[in-house]
A and B are shown apart, each in its own frame.
Chain A
Amino acid sequence: MDAAIPYISNLQRFSLDDGPGIRTTVFLKGCNLHCAWCHNPECMVAGATLQFIEASCTACGKCVSVCPQNVHTITEDGCHLLDRTRCIACGKCAYHCPHTALNLIGTLYQPEDLLQQILKDQKYYETSGGGVTFSGGEPMLHPAYLAQMLHMCREAGLHTAVDTAGCVPFSSFEAVLPWTNLFLYDIKLWDEGRHRAATGVSNRRILENLDTLTRAGADVYIRTPVIPSFNDDPETFRQIASFLASLPGRDHIRLIQLLPYHSYGVGKYASMGQSSRTAELQPPPEAFMQQALQLYLDLDLPAQIS
């Protein structure tokens, strides 16, 4: 029986930063972490969601006339207000918006259809040593669908990667493990309390899963976003580095990427009717990035700033 089908927010072709080579990254909606700095807020919830780009809106009122739920209001002074609690994500307003200010985020793909989309760039994967990456959100929240997709991609000869925060039962990893060439695995913070405060969950299971996963022989890239005021202290990176160095399966850590915070995602929050907790943040100073990097290199870990 086919697995339940998750919503997909985007198929990013010519994706260059989610694993080796030229890739297609599939973003699955829904996440069990709520990281303050998330740059894909449209993937936080599992269902289809309405995106509203205010800068493109001319307050023409077309959406008001087609919405069955009275979500939209144009005020007398030309302000477009949304009552998102009423929205059923029917997509009528998005279809009729002449300026594409409204977009329905979330498409359902049958596995065969998704595979067909992914295979369109197969020749680029072959030239570049790339492949497909499943990201999100948290793609591991949909282990059956994910395993089916990975299996089909591998059968088609593709290199497969899964981008995960790791906060799922290990049985989910077991489901996808046979079909996954590479995990892009996020380690965001060391201190459990700070991790809980920043992401909403404890990091104990994440760290345990990484230990188990690498001991099971899975290749991983470790990715750590460097977020000012959340984790930009040397102690955090010292702890993470020594944890990684101590793992019995550390040889399976093929690459460690330190990702300096960028603010590209901030604009998305407003369009999803949310507020960003990191709108004021600046990228971390280069000096700190180098300092953090050195902590890994000192332990012979294959780290780089990406």
Chain B
Amino acid sequence: MMTASETAVRTEDLYLSDTIRYLVSIKDDIHDRSQIPHRDRVYHRVFAEHPNDLQALKFAKAFSAFLAEKKIFIHPRDILAGFTYRYTYGTTIPVDMPEDYDPLYRPPVSPDSQREYETVLLHHKLSPDSKEAKELRIFLSGVDAWLYKHWFSGHILPGYDRLMEIGFVGLVELGEASVARHTGVNREFAEAMLITSRAAVAYTARYAALAAEMASQAEDPLCRRNLSRIADSCRHLTKGKPRNFFDAVQLLWLAQEMMMVENIPASESLGRMDVYLAPFYERDVQTGVLTYNEASEILDALWIKFSGNLHSYQAVTVSGTNADGTTFENDLTYLIMQSTRKLMFDQPLIDFRYTDGMSKRLWNEVVALIKTGTGFPGIFYDPICIRAKESTGQTPEDARNYAIIGCVETGLPGHEYTPTELVHLNWPKLFELMFNHGHATMQEFCAPLFEDKDLDSISSFDEFYAWFKSEMEQFTALSIRSIELIETMIPWCFPTPYLSSLMVGCYEKGMDVTAGACRYNNTGVSTCGLATAVDSLAAIKQVVYEDHLMPLSEFAKAVNANFEGYEDLHNIVSNHCPKFGNDNDAVDFYMSDLIAAFGRVVNSRKNPRGGHYMTGLYSVEDHAKAGMKTAATPDGRMAGMYESNSMASVQGKDVSGPTALINSVVKTDLNIATNGMVLDLKFNPQFLESPAHVDALKMLIDTYFHNGGMEIQFSVVSRETLLAAQQEPEKYRNLVVRVSGFSAYFRSLNKTTQDEIIARTEYQAI
């Protein structure tokens, strides 16, 4: 057993160069807003120039044209070339995003359901009167009404590991061979990819030239040295594969920067960075051309690049199980966690693969990061994550190499294309529909129930429960049928040739990645508001069917009235009905039973790319957003209030402590969560001051994982700090907090999300 006396080095003792300190101080002031709408303008222009091209060719040519003409910029004191933030993406997928947003904040993006609907009908040549079109209409109106959350673009794990081995030049060679080998439409897809690979080389050359020019004019020797290194590296990367650690990191950033040109910055994930950078790092250290601190500075500079995209879920995965069962760790595993510990940015996300055999030193490094309160790292238990991957048909070798996509989803970097966020079903919204013959009460929306019932005809709770379960299953199945129509449309309407060029199998088959070219092709189908729904069922059971306080129709009336005039009922359902998260078998049963039912529906068919639908038990930030659009629920939650987060209890209702919450959670078979799950525990910062408590935390995690837990994460910011940050955001500009499967600057969150985080139960030392 580990003792807390072996604590990691203090954060203030970690190396932070003057250059990095300076770059951090100016990083928010160097955004060039002119490029935000520029990207869409170029895409529109190029599309108009090539009206008859295959869509993939249009996208590739637009990508190439934009990279050729966009502004590039290197700060004279920078260590790496490149910088980025979001563009607008009006042409890429059906989204609405204003052109005038502030890049320092997260842009408001919403799906453009009408455009998506029309595109699908046009592509599949469907009549609006067809059964499919009618269902799609329900699905997409349901997206607008937040019965569903639906998102695509991003959520990818590009093959950066292969890119490190061959460089952009290697991609061009693959592309030329692919074009020569294929005919027909496959050849066109290959040509599209090749255009992007050549564009990547050309874009790198632009940076090489700019850096060389700036270096020749630089007076400060340090600036000149750094600029020359950039120039040399970029020049080399236009000719060959990376030679050393610096080349590899520079290449990685340029590849990621270009990814933002094609894909909305949502979960463009980095994979197992400590694994694929290791050969470069180790060789450089062995040959004496790189020190630990020099590597640290280069990674810090990379982190500053990542930080340009707030709230963008760029996930870096560290550690994990080796083929022989030992734990992977190297200096980079530490350097990566230390960069985040020092810089405290919301990007990149740090995800830690937890193994039973890890060293004490490694765990101490994790604890040091937890103590920062940033919510990093997300902690994933390797055996269960690997088992989940194997259950979707992956070989043990592939399953072992998983990395995190975005929040908590897993994939095989470069070999798996899994849009993980295609749908979340908002469970609590179902009560609203069931109480009102399919009509929403907070917006104009009607979804025909699969079985409409007179509420007072329901004679037992079992009957009500069966009805809820059946509607949940049917609305899930409906969404799967709709996203099938959408997924099969995407390669032909919204392809991603640049991403495809990086994914193994696309050049090889002459196919876009979205068409199913990779080895693994899964699709995420997830949930939202689980405990809110479960507590609602428990409340209905007790009030209507056990205590007979009122008939179900009267209860529904109270809920529809947002409990106005029903204060006694509100008190009973809020405070005197059993709640999920307190180790109460009677209520926890509904969670495990409903999730199993959901999982059966999700697993009941293959997706159109021959892959699996995968069950997700996490809710990103949607439990807050969906809550704002969801009427009151039978558990006492008021209309418009946030819902429960992922697998957690309703906020503040887990009154029996963390062991009880964990016991409740592991009653559900989490092996089913092939698209990931989240369990967030919030501790008062004082809690981790005691070494005994740090030891206990490890034992808590061990017990959780050994009894079926998959993921856990810790929020360690006091309620007082959060309240103060809400009052005076300017004073807490750099406060990073755990939201759900990710962390973000507190000030960048909407108020409902902020309130939700504040309302979570805070465990402390008693």
Contact of A191 with B by CB under 8 A: no
Known contacts A100-B575, A120-B663, A12 near B657 by CB under 8 Å: yes
Of the candidate stretches B236-244, B259-267, B694-702, B720-728, the one touching chain A is B694-702
Contact A22 B699 (CB under 8 A): yes
Bound complex: CA A235 to CA B570 (Å): 58
Q: Name the B residues within 8 Å of A127 (CB-CB).
A: 699, 702-703, 706
B385 to A: closest C-beta gap in Å: 21
Chain B residue nearest in CB terms to A39: B766
Contact of B47 with A by CB under 8 A: no
Contact A14 B659 (CB under 8 A): yes
A124 touches which of B659, B695, B766 (Cβ 8 Å): B659
Bound complex: CA A13 to CA B657 (Å): 6
Residue-wise interface mask of B (695-737) relative to A, using a CB-CB cutoff of 8 A (1 in contact, 0 not): 1100110110011000000000000000000000000000000
B105 to A: closest C-beta gap in Å: 35
Contact of A96 with B by CB under 8 A: yes
Contact of A97 with B by CB under 8 A: yes
Q: Name the A residues within 8 Å of B395 (CB-CB).
A: none
Contact B706 A96 (CB under 8 A): no
Q: Name the B residues within 8 Å of A148 (CB-CB).
A: none
B576 touches which of A15, A16, A95 (Cβ 8 Å): A95
Contact B656 A96 (CB under 8 A): no
Bound complex: CA A16 to CA B656 (Å): 14
Bound complex: CA A127 to CA B698 (Å): 10
Contact B696 A128 (CB under 8 A): yes
Q: Name the B residues within 8 Å of A100 (CB-CB).
A: 575
B380 to A: closest C-beta gap in Å: 19
Bound complex: CA A123 to CA B702 (Å): 10
Chain A residue nearest in CB terms to B707: A123
Interface positions of A from 96 to 111, Cβ below 8 Å from B = 96-98, 100
- The size bracket of the interface on B is 20 to 34
Contact B703 A123 (CB under 8 A): yes
A63 to B: closest C-beta gap in Å: 12
Interface of B is mostly: helix
Contact of B144 with A by CB under 8 A: no
Known contacts A100-B575, A127-B706, A14 near B658 by CB under 8 Å: yes
Contact A98 B696 (CB under 8 A): no
Contact A98 B570 (CB under 8 A): yes
Contact A14 B568 (CB under 8 A): no
B583 touches which of A17, A22, A97, A120 (Cβ 8 Å): A120
Known contacts A95-B576, A124-B659, A14 near B570 by CB under 8 Å: no
Interface positions of A from 107 to 126, Cβ below 8 Å from B = 120-121, 123-124
Chain A residue nearest in CB terms to B693: A16
B754 to A: closest C-beta gap in Å: 21
Contact of A21 with B by CB under 8 A: yes
Chain A residue nearest in CB terms to B699: A128
Bound complex: CA A170 to CA B408 (Å): 57
Chain A residue nearest in CB terms to B666: A123
Residue-wise interface mask of A (1-42) relative to B, using a CB-CB cutoff of 8 A (1 in contact, 0 not): 000000000011111110001100100000000000000000
Bound complex: CA A95 to CA B706 (Å): 39
Bound complex: CA A98 to CA B699 (Å): 37
Contact of B3 with A by CB under 8 A: no
Interface positions of B from 630 to 673, Cβ below 8 Å from A = 656-660, 663
Q: Name the B residues within 8 Å of A123 (CB-CB).
A: 703, 706-707
Q: Name the A residues within 8 Å of B766 (CB-CB).
A: 12, 15-17, 25
Known contacts A22-B700, A124-B700, A13 near B656 by CB under 8 Å: yes
Interface positions of B from 663 to 691, Cβ below 8 Å from A = 663, 690
Contact B765 A16 (CB under 8 A): yes
Contact of B692 with A by CB under 8 A: yes
Chain B residue nearest in CB terms to A126: B703
B683 to A: closest C-beta gap in Å: 11
Q: Name the A residues within 8 Å of B696 (CB-CB).
A: 14, 16, 21-22, 128
Q: Name the A residues within 8 Å of B695 (CB-CB).
A: 128
Bound complex: CA A212 to CA B571 (Å): 53
A294 to B: closest C-beta gap in Å: 20
Bound complex: CA A120 to CA B765 (Å): 20
Q: Name the B residues within 8 Å of A16 (CB-CB).
A: 690, 692-693, 696, 765-766
Q: Name the A residues within 8 Å of B706 (CB-CB).
A: 123, 127
Bound complex: CA A123 to CA B706 (Å): 10
Known contacts A17-B765, A123-B707, A97 near B571 by CB under 8 Å: yes
Q: Name the A residues within 8 Å of B702 (CB-CB).
A: 127
Q: Name the A residues within 8 Å of B763 (CB-CB).
A: 14
B567 to A: closest C-beta gap in Å: 6
Residues in chain A within 8 A of chain B (CB atoms): 11-17, 21-22, 25, 95-98, 100, 120-121, 123-124, 127-128
Can you list 16 A-B pairs with a CB-CB distance of less than 8 A? A13-B657, A16-B690, A16-B765, A16-B766, A17-B692, A22-B696, A96-B571, A98-B574, A100-B575, A120-B659, A121-B660, A123-B707, A124-B699, A127-B699, A127-B703, A127-B706
Which 5 interchain pairs have the tightest Cβ spacing? A128-B699, A98-B571, A13-B657, A14-B657, A127-B703
Residues in chain B within 8 A of chain A (CB atoms): 567-568, 570-571, 574-576, 583, 656-660, 663, 690, 692-693, 695-696, 699-700, 702-703, 706-707, 763, 765-766
Q: List 11 additional A-B contacts (Cβ < 8 Å) besides A16-B693, A22-B659, A96-B571.
A: A13-B657, A16-B692, A22-B699, A95-B576, A124-B659, A124-B699, A124-B700, A124-B703, A127-B702, A128-B699, A128-B703
